[in-house]
Amino acid sequence: MSAPGAAGRSELLFRAVNERIFEIGASDAEALEILCECGDESCISTVAINVRDYERLRLDSSRFVVCEGHELADIERVTERTPEYLVVEKAGRTPEAVVRGPAGRTDP
């Protein structure tokens, strides 16, 4: 696993890629295959998610979609479990800090 700062950058990068996948594919598909948004920069796992579920999850920018077993219990709280993925939320951090990222940036 990565250092805490690198983990945050990885999560934000994976989210940015997933948002681009959504922009390109959401109008033509019911489901998308997105990247796991865990903090492991070497993770190459993908998640199948319904387009509507992805839209709903993105309404709360502090939530991330990860594969089972990729959650970090010491800094994340599981808010939703499905057979395909988990939804995690950062524990002890404000949503604004998660959106900004580890260095206060708004982009990955």
Write out pLDDT tens, residues 61-86: 889 999 999 998 888 999 999 999 99
3-state class (DSSP) for residue 35: strand
Is the pLDDT reported for residue 12 higher than 80?
yes
Sign of CA dihedral 8, 17, 79, 106: positive
pTM, to two decimals: 0.73
Partnered with residue 76 across adjacent β-strands are 90
Q: What is the mean pLDDT of residues 24-38?
A: 86
3-state class (DSSP) for residue 47: strand
Contact in structure between 66 and 37 (CB atoms under 8 Å) = yes
